[in-house]
Structure 1
Amino acid sequence: MNHSQTIVIKIGTSSLAQPETGKLALSTIAALVETLTELRQLGYDVVLVSSGAVGVGCSRLKLTERPKKIATKQAIAAVGQGRLIRVYDDLFTALNQPIAQILLTRRELMERSCYVNAKNTFDALFELGVIPIVNENDTVAIEELKFGDNDTLSALVASLINANWLFILTDVDRLYSADPRTFPDAKPIKVVNSLQLDQLQVKAGNKGSQWGTGGMSTKLTAARLATSVGVTTVITHGKKPENLLKIINGEDIGTKFEAQLKNDNARKRWIAYGLLPRGKLYLDKGAVKAISQKGKSLLAAGILKVEGSFDSADAVQLCDETGQEIARGIVNYNQEEINKIKGNHSNQIPELLGYDGGGTIVHRDNLVINGTFKN
């Protein structure tokens, strides 16, 4: 067995908290801590992405339901995060396992230097034998830069650190064709390959638990993201964390999403998943073929329409004529400039703009094809 592997474990509020009260399920957390410590002692690099700050804050403040107002939710998260990390620290300390707290916002992953620094921090913590515990920094995150849920955050962290495994621990033992709590005849799904994942149609509700934000649909989105960058992803029961090592050793537990071929191009992963696209460029058939099949850069001549408000060096979606995204990349011009030069040959750009900013709209080195990492 290869013990130099990296594992990301995401545990949701539905597993961390008691459904009736929202209070922490300490026996589950203790079992999780024991399992992660064992994995670390076996030589694995381990990251825990933990939900629960808002739920713990609600419990601490004796609130009966999760707040809707963002400012209130952020204040409650600040109350709950300290308590949550204290519980983890006490339990890990009892096993002589050091931990670190990492609070992220999307902004950190959008700036290339911050993205690289975050990766270096994780690597340094692994060298020190530390288990990082990650959560979204709810206190300062603004709505348009939020991850939205910790399923997405865990997949982005798995991509950032080039993980081998992502475990999403939830309140069901595996993925089913429908919610087994509502549809008794729902069929269990044990293994999903990349083609099946693209075509997978399940009755996956968006609604999470009373105290959480996720649902099965966010877990499928996270699985698509993680597997596309070479991370084997498993959905399994959060109340049975001891199963993690069994799954790694090949036991048929949970739903396993098979990883696509791994590509170690970190910059392409950052463009695909670290950045939030600020606009769309609609391309003609020739441009679509040039960038998706021939590995070419995007030129102004192939652009039909521009949507959104963005600056140069922002990320945009590159779409075909129907609006289907076929790639995304970093633009060399803002939307006003592209509107002026779209449909024209590159040698006309200096005349149209009054200056020459370069012939390519998106250079192929800054372009990712439909979630894959083609060079």
Structure 2
Amino acid sequence: MSRKDILGEVGRVVIKIGTTSLMQGRKSISIDFMDSVAEQVKALKDEGKEVLIVTSGAIGVGLKAMKVQANPNDIPIRQAAASVGQSILMQRWADSFQRQGMIVGQILMSLDTYSDRDSAINLNNTIDSLLDNGVIPIFNENDAVCITEIKFGDNDTLSAIVASRTDADLLIILSDVKGLYDSDPTKNPDAKLVPVVHNVDASVRSMAGESSTGLGTGGMRTKLDAAVICKDAGCSMIIASSKEPDAIYRAATGDDIGTIFVSDSEISKKRRWIKSAHASGRLVIDPGAEKAVLDHKSLLPVGIRSVEGTFDKGEVVDIICEGHRIAKGIAGYGSKEMSAIAGKHTAELEGILGRKDHKEAIISENLVVL
């Protein structure tokens, strides 16, 4: 099967551009590279495709501007560098796209941006409005204010979540390597590029090496994690080298470049959101409730052993049984009420809550088995 057949019709593309692609010799932004990206995006837009960009590099750019040693462990310095670097980075992107007659819009995100469903819907409405008006959305993690608990951790993960939440057909991750190899190419000169991956299993994970740069935070392992997120969301993913001529355009139009991770079949928008959302708490359940959940039935309060964390009704929680996360779902009650009714039978709920309410802790349509 050809790459074009595997990809199918690509309408919306997310492009993740890593620090090593942007920084020329680890010292400065490559304006030529950014201009090339803008040219390729323009060509894709002219063919009717929608394009979103996830950019890294703000911290690296800021460190250079501030003349601070690369990759310090001091979090405030990194956050200050992100603040300085993000404004410089966006100006460079704006300049490159302006030369192609396009404008860009900045979206800074943290992990909790997509954890609340209303916020997620509002963000997607903003993204759709930008695209409808010909604007290229450019995402980055809000490193200037994010703390460890609300960070994506790396922009490979961020790009995969953006792709999954915006119903993208394809995520292209530009990297310093040509794709996934069957062994570490820096150690084995006979390593071969793997052109197609259908499942990210143990054998595939064993192939992952490490990032070659001191400025980036994402290696091949984080890219494989991103591939899993995309696959579960029905989005294909391609890893390609930023050094390849016209890598973005070629990847998006079905050329045999890099490694493609083939997507699953279509998954509903709600299931995509639940599956990828940051869990605000945990419900620990008994084996009987586990069987019901695995059979795609609703979770009843009687099957809940304990409630962990603080969350509101409508937030996503993890479902845990015997130490294993088996599902995620949208909580039908907040953590306070959930704790009060945990382990209780349906007939007892009205007396505990003081009102008649639904009997389920999480209804079946709001549960996703992992």
Q: Shared fold by TM > 0.5?
A: yes
Asked if residue 115 in structure 1 is aligned to residue 123 in structure 2, the reply is no
Structure 2, unmatched stretches of 5+, are none
Asked if residue 245 in structure 1 is aligned to residue 249 in structure 2, the reply is yes
Identify if the C-alpha distance between structure 1 residues 278 and 121 changes in structure 2 by more than 3 Å, giving closer, same or farther: closer
Q: Which residue of 1 aligns with 2:77?
A: 72
Supply the distance in 1 between the matched residues of 2:248 and 2:328 (Cα, whole angstroms).
35
Q: Read off the aligned partner of 1:348 and give its amino acid letter.
A: E
Q: Read off the aligned partner of 2:46 and give its amino acid letter.
A: Q
Asked if residue 269 in structure 1 is aligned to residue 234 in structure 2, the reply is no
Q: Read off the aligned partner of 1:330 and give its amino acid letter.
A: I
Q: Read off the aligned partner of 1:34 and give its amino acid letter.
A: E
* Residues matched between the structures, number: 364
Asked if residue 327 in structure 1 is aligned to residue 335 in structure 2, the reply is no
Asked if residue 5 in structure 1 is aligned to residue 18 in structure 2, the reply is no
Higher mean Cα deviation, 206-215 or 323-332?
A: 206-215
Asked if residue 58 in structure 1 is aligned to residue 59 in structure 2, the reply is no
Higher mean Cα deviation, 235-244 or 303-312?
A: 303-312
Identify if the C-alpha distance between structure 1 residues 91 and 51 changes in structure 2 by more than 3 Å, giving closer, same or farther: same
Deviations 1:112-150 (A, max 9, x none): 222112111111122222211111122222321111111
Question: How is 1:108-257 mapped onto 2 (pairs within 5 angstroms)?
Answer: 108-194=113-199, 196-197=200-201, 200-205=204-209, 209-240=213-244, 242-257=246-261
Supply the distance in 2 between the matched residues of 1:243 and 1:3 (Cα, whole angstroms).
18
Identify if the C-alpha distance between structure 1 residues 335 and 109 changes in structure 2 by more than 3 Å, giving closer, same or farther: closer
Identify if the C-alpha distance between structure 1 residues 198 and 366 changes in structure 2 by more than 3 Å, giving closer, same or farther: farther
Supply the distance in 2 between the matched residues of 1:44 and 1:314 (Cα, whole angstroms).
33
Identify if the C-alpha distance between structure 1 residues 311 and 129 changes in structure 2 by more than 3 Å, giving closer, same or farther: closer
Q: Read off the aligned partner of 1:137 and give its amino acid letter.
A: N
Supply the distance in 2 between the matched residues of 1:291 and 1:338 (Cα, whole angstroms).
17
TM-score scaled by structure 1? 0.88
Deviations 1:182-237 (A, max 9, x none): 3434342211113x447632253565621111111111111100111111101110
Question: How is 1:296-311 mapped onto 2 (pairs within 5 angstroms)?
Answer: 296-311=297-312
1:59 CA displacement = 1.3
Q: Which residue of 2 aligns with 1:365?
A: 365
Deviations 1:133-187 (A, max 9, x none): 1111222223211111111111111122111110011110011233311343434
Deviations 1:266-323 (A, max 9, x none): 23322221x3213332333332232222x211012223444444444432211232x2
* Identical positions, percent: 39
- Check conservation: 2:59, 2:81, Cα contact below 8 A: yes
Supply the distance in 2 between the matched residues of 1:281 and 1:38 (Cα, whole angstroms).
48
Supply the distance in 2 between the matched residues of 1:95 and 1:352 (Cα, whole angstroms).
63
TM-score scaled by structure 2? 0.89
Q: Which residue of 2 aligns with 1:260?
A: 264
Supply the distance in 1 between the matched residues of 2:166 and 2:245 (Cα, whole angstroms).
22
- Check conservation: 1:152, 1:222, Cα contact below 8 A: yes
Supply the distance in 2 between the matched residues of 1:98 and 1:354 (Cα, whole angstroms).
55
Aligned equivalent of 1:290, options 257, 280, 292: 292
For the aligned residue pairs, the C-alpha RMSD in angstroms reads 2.4
- Check conservation: 1:3, 1:42, Cα contact below 8 A: no
Identify if the C-alpha distance between structure 1 residues 148 and 241 changes in structure 2 by more than 3 Å, giving closer, same or farther: farther
Supply the distance in 1 between the matched residues of 2:339 and 2:126 (Cα, whole angstroms).
41
- Check conservation: 1:243, 1:253, Cα contact below 8 A: yes
Identify if the C-alpha distance between structure 1 residues 93 and 336 changes in structure 2 by more than 3 Å, giving closer, same or farther: closer
Q: Read off the aligned partner of 1:272 and give its amino acid letter.
A: K
Aligned equivalent of 2:33, options 17, 28, 31: 28
Q: Read off the aligned partner of 2:126 and give its amino acid letter.
A: T
Q: Which residue of 2 aligns with 1:317?
A: 318
Identify if the C-alpha distance between structure 1 residues 208 and 72 changes in structure 2 by more than 3 Å, giving closer, same or farther: farther
Identify if the C-alpha distance between structure 1 residues 319 and 96 changes in structure 2 by more than 3 Å, giving closer, same or farther: same
Identify if the C-alpha distance between structure 1 residues 99 and 353 changes in structure 2 by more than 3 Å, giving closer, same or farther: closer
Equivalent position SS for 1:348: helix
1:18 CA displacement = 2.8
